[in-house]
Structures are given as C-alpha cells and as structure tokens.
Structure 1
Amino acid sequence: MNVQVWTDFLQQNWLVIVIALVVLFVVLNLVKTMVKWVLAIVIVAGLLIYSGISLDKIGEVVTTIKDETVDTVKSEAMNMMLKEAKDAKYTKNADGSYAVTTPNVSLKGETGTETVEVTFKGVPLGEWKVNDTIITFIESAQSNGSTTSK
C-alpha cells in the first residue's frame, strides 16, 4: 500500500473520518448490546468502502502476507535442518514409517513416499514434498545412528 495514497485520502476526507469516528465512539459508549458491534462493523466497513479499499484488495493483502510468512518459516526450517543435521536422530518403526528429530525440527514419513510431515519448533508445518535438503537431513540422521521402534 502506498503511503502517499493514504496521505491524500486523509487530507481530502478528514471531516468524514472524524465524523465516523465520533459516531463510532458514541455508539460504543451508549449502546450496551450486541447491536453496538454490528453498528461498529457497519461504520468501519462504510469507511473502507468509501476509501476505495475493496474486500478483494484486503483479501489479496492477507493472502500475500500469509504466503510470505509461510515461505519465511519454511526457509527457516530448511536452514535449521542443515544446521542440526549432525544432531538428528533417526527412528525407524516396524510399520515402515520413520521419524527424524532434532531439538527444533522433526520429520515423520513413510519409506517410499514422496512427502513428509514437518514440525518446526513444535508447530506443525504440514506435509512437504521430499527435496534435496530433506534427503540430506534424513541421510545425515541415519548416519548418526538409527534406532528401531517396535
């Protein structure tokens, strides 16, 4: 979002914004029921629509921020895998599944599949396709010594 656009909007519409804020505060202070929140949402939505910001634009911004955050977390998890590979523990289960754990990263998968479940600092990051970094991480954990679980 461009700061200049917001500055121009505020300069041109300051009176409408002040009136809307006064009405909003009056509604919030006088109305003590659920109706006040409905009115508050209507006032805020009216301001957003009046300012030219559409819900599509808000959705696009939220999606962009979410995607950037997920990419950043994935990148950090991959870097942590490379850093902690020497301390990784490989556990093979009797059913063909395996787990690779470090203090910050854990992988769970099944032998022969192309996806693994990744957890980073206790937060599940979902299923990832196995790539070169993950293969290196698993191989390093196996070379550290593996255990078999029954």
Structure 2
Amino acid sequence: MRSYPPNSPKAAARLVALTMLADGHVSRIEAQTLERLGLPKAFGLSVEDLSAVLQGLCEDLLCSSQGDWCRPVVDAALINGLLAEVTDPGLRATVLRACVAVAEADEELADGECVVLMQAIQQWRVGTLPSLKAHPA
C-alpha cells in the first residue's frame, strides 16, 4: 500500500475512496455526491486528483490481494493503518462527513461501509456520526 504524508489531502481522500469501494464497487451517485458537496476542493484536490487517489487505492488493493479474490475488500488492519494517517481533528471531521455522505448516497448502507465508519468512530473516538439517515432493512 502506498503511503501519503500524515494529514495530507491524499491521505484524507483515500479514506473516502475506501468507503466508496467498501461495498465492492463505486457507484456514479457516490461520485456525484462528492462533487455536489465540493469534497475534492475541501481536501485541496481537483476531481482528477481524487480520481487518481481512487485509482491508486484500487491498484494497491489488487496488488495486496495476492490472488485471494474471496477476502473482503477492506479489513481491519488496512482500515486502521489508513485511519492513522489522519490525526488532525478538523480534517478527521471533514473526512468522516465525506465518508458518511458516500455511504448514504445510494440509500443502502453496505456491511463494508459500516465497517469503515465504525472503525473510524472507534479509532478516532468520535461520539456520534455527523448524520446518518435511517435506512430501510
């Protein structure tokens, strides 16, 4: 897995990209949600930069899978490592809001998205999520 400087725009954006991939695919509505909310700019990135971070994450995940296509897209050790790259409280709040927006975008909260969000809450010691709509079962 490539590394980014702590609290860098790419480290923050990669956590959002991880949330986008956590359900096994990236949907158009997730990308549109990020653009609508101006999230690339909030991280100091262009839409193209955000796309490059997403592509890099996909490449890294493929390389690290070592042919094991049956394992989950994300695992606890990977998530914890990426969460550790963001230590600034303000940036953490922005990242968490973006991750929640991505998870809510398609109105279906997937297990992988829940894993990313819950680990962020636990590792970053967040009291509550910024907003999480109730999703039908």
Smaller-chain TM-score range?
A: under 0.3
Q: Which has the higher contact order (CA 8 A, sep 6+)?
A: 2
TM-score, with length taken from structure 1: 0.25
Which structure dedicates a bigger proportion of its chain to strand?
A: 1
TM-score, with length taken from structure 2: 0.26
Decide which structure has the larger Cα Rg and report it.
Answer: 1
